[in-house]
Structure 1
Amino acid sequence: MKNHNIATTFSAVLYFVCMMNCHAQTGKKLLLALSKADHTLAIVDPATLKVLGRVPVGIDPHEVVASSDGKIAYVAIYGGGTLHEINVIDLVNKKALPTIDTRPLFGPHDVTYVHDKLWFTAEGSKAVGRYNPATSNLDWSMGTGQDRTHMLHVTADARKIYTTNMSSGTVSILSDTVIQPPPNAPATAKPRTDWFQKVIPASVGSEGFDVLPDGSKLWTAASSDGSITVVNLRTKTQEKKIDAKVMGANRLKFTPDGKYAFVSSLSTGDLFIIEVSTQKQIKKLSLGRGAAGILMDTDGTRAFVACSADNYIAVVDLKTFEVTSKLDVGGVPDGMAWSIAK
């Protein structure tokens, strides 16, 4: 009987350890997905594709990002450029926290989290803004002077910002530059930081874009003429315009190895797969009536594509380029992001 009790206790301990490990593994990396129709943020286990919880958000959620520790999510409430809120979600307890008021910046659309700060486009104000969670205030902003400043990328060192300006048909490169005092400046003068903008022509409707993993080039796809503009980020010039025929283009994302570009079409529902080295289309998947947000898996195995018009997210195998499953996170899915706990 004593041995039986020891065995039973040992089994119980093993079960508890297993459950704790399983929870830690599934909780370490989470897929975050927005539903525009349901006004919710779905928290998904990427291993099982099971929805672990849903948290209500504002009336027009577009893009989402997680903090660097994976504990907080930020959701831009866009409203066609008229609203002024970013929702804050506690991912651990799956509940809403006090909302960020972005005024005087209006129309927050895209969001990213770099150097422990939240960066966002403010389309209604033709600007980019930055929020500091440590001080709970907006601590920096810069205007682009371009129409519909929409999507956003901030380099890891937070010294350069790339945006697409849809209606102007341009790409903005904002550079953080240290300015030295002039030779005749007082001895007490110190170097100061200023930001400069370089505006690069693209096509009207250039919206979705991505930066190659080596940081050398930016590709942006235009809904108006189906072209892809290639920007050389080292020379800050337009390198080429590819007649890719990706009509109705909405988002563009590179695979983690930088070999392929995925472009979704909101008007046709197609997913175009383009080989970066040859700049040629190698495959086109018909996903439904309208494809939008794209998220690459961090391990390089899958892509998640929001089929907004059909109310599901398609999971695409990055080796076969075939749809392997579909994920339901609510009506009109769009913006997605990863939360990786640290």
Structure 2
Amino acid sequence: MVIDVASKKVTNTIDGVEGVPHNLNITPDGNTLLVTLTQNNELGVVDLDKGKMTTTITVGTGHHVVDITPDGKYAYVGNIGADFVSVVDIAKRKEMKQINVGMGPHGTTISKDGETVYTAVTSKDQVAVIDRKKNEVVKRVDVDSFPFFISTLEIASETKKKKE
């Protein structure tokens, strides 16, 4: 469903979305909606102008969270039932790489500058830090227990310097 948040009314229904939708995100240009289809191990691609799902992209098992790079070219999908994050080329509509992070990647978020991906790895009690240029894990941060979702707070370097 498409909801006008100002009026709190349903304005449209998107056809063809099947497979237990779980998480979604919209490309920065506002034209495409990506929705994780947990039951099918797919990422659904919805053309927002047409108001319907146009294709699906196979990703890992039990995927949950999807984030999109600031340039709108790539999506990163946490596959909690697998040991990798899927890298999806949005224009080509295909998974282009699987980045091994350990069993249970769930929450996935991309830095504001688009250079880093952070993924909560539930079974390892870690956050995997992925360099987007290399598309590989460059660091792991241990956390107390069972990380699930993740978010970042990024402060501009000028603001940070003023506070120091």
TM-score relative to the length of structure 2: 0.84
Unaligned regions of 5+ residues in structure 1, if any? 1-171, 178-192
State the shift of 1:331 in Å. 0.7
Unaligned regions of 5+ residues in structure 2, if any? 160-164
Q: How does 1:101-180 map to 2 (within 5 A)?
A: 172-176=1-5
Matching of residue 203 in structure 1 with residue 18 in structure 2: yes
Aligned partners of 1:208, 1:223: CA distance in 2, in Å?
A: 9
The 1:318–1:304 alpha-carbon spacing in structure 2 relative to 1, beyond 3 Å, is same
Aligned residue in 1 for 2:64 = 250
**Counterpart among 295, 302, 315 of residue 109 in structure 2:** 295
Preserved CA contact (<8 Å) 2:74 2:89:
yes
Q: Which amino acid is the alignment partner of residue 299 of structure 1?
A: D
Alpha-carbon distance in 2 for matches of 1:330, 1:288: 17
User: What is the aligned counterpart of 1:310 among 90, 112, 124?
Assistant: 124
- How far apart are residue 329 of structure 1 and its match? 2.6
Contact 2:60-2:82 at 8 Å conserved across structures: no
Aligned to 2:92: 278
Match for 2:148: what amino acid? D
Deviations 1:35-91 (A, max 9, x none): xxxxxxxxxxxxxxxxxxxxxxxxxxxxxxxxxxxxxxxxxxxxxxxxxxxxxxxxx
Cα distance in 2 for residues equivalent to 1:320 and 1:283: 11
In 2, distance between residues paired with 1:237 and 1:231?
A: 5
Letter aligned with residue 173 of structure 1: V
- CA drift of 1:197 comes to 4.2
Indicate which of 124, 127, 133 corresponds to 1:319: 133
1:232 is matched with 47
Take 1:277 and 1:229, find their aligned partners in 2: how far apart are those partners?
Answer: 13
Which has more radius of gyration?
Answer: 1
State how far apart, in whole Å, the 2-side matches of 1:257 and 1:243 are: 20
Q: Is the 8 A contact 1:316 1:325 kept in 2?
A: yes
Query: How far off its partner does 1:194 sit?
Result: 5.6
In structure 2, how many angstroms separate the alpha carbons of the residues matched to 1:174 and 1:278? Answer: 29
Equivalent of residue 269 in structure 1, options 83, 92, 95: 83
TM-score by length of 1: 0.42
User: CA, structure 1 residues 244+327, in 2 after alignment: closer, same or farther (shift >3 Å)?
Assistant: same
- Report the aligned-residue RMSD: 1.9
The aligned counterpart of 1:46 is none
Specify the SS of the correspondent of 1:224: helix
Question: Contact between 1:221 and 1:246, CA under 8 Å: does it hold in 2?
Answer: no
> C-alpha displacement at 1:207, in angstroms?
1.1
CA contact (8 A) 1:227 1:241 kept: no
Q: Contact between 1:225 and 1:245, CA under 8 Å: does it hold in 2?
A: no
Deviation at 1:214, TM superposition (A): 0.7
Q: What is the CA–CA distance in structure 2 between the aligned matches of 1:290 and 1:297, rounded to whole Å?
A: 21
Distance in 1 (alpha carbons) for counterparts of 2:45 and 2:100: 25
Q: How many residues align?
A: 155
Residue 328 to residue 175, structure 1, CA distance change in 2 (3 Å): same
CA distance in 2, matches of 1:279, 1:217: 12
Aligned residue type for 1:196:
V
Query: Aligned to 1:271, what secondary structure does the other structure show?
Result: strand
Q: Distance in 1 between matches of 2:64 and 2:108?
A: 9
Report the secondary structure of 2:34's partner residue. strand
2:59–2:86 contact (8 Å) kept in structure 1: no
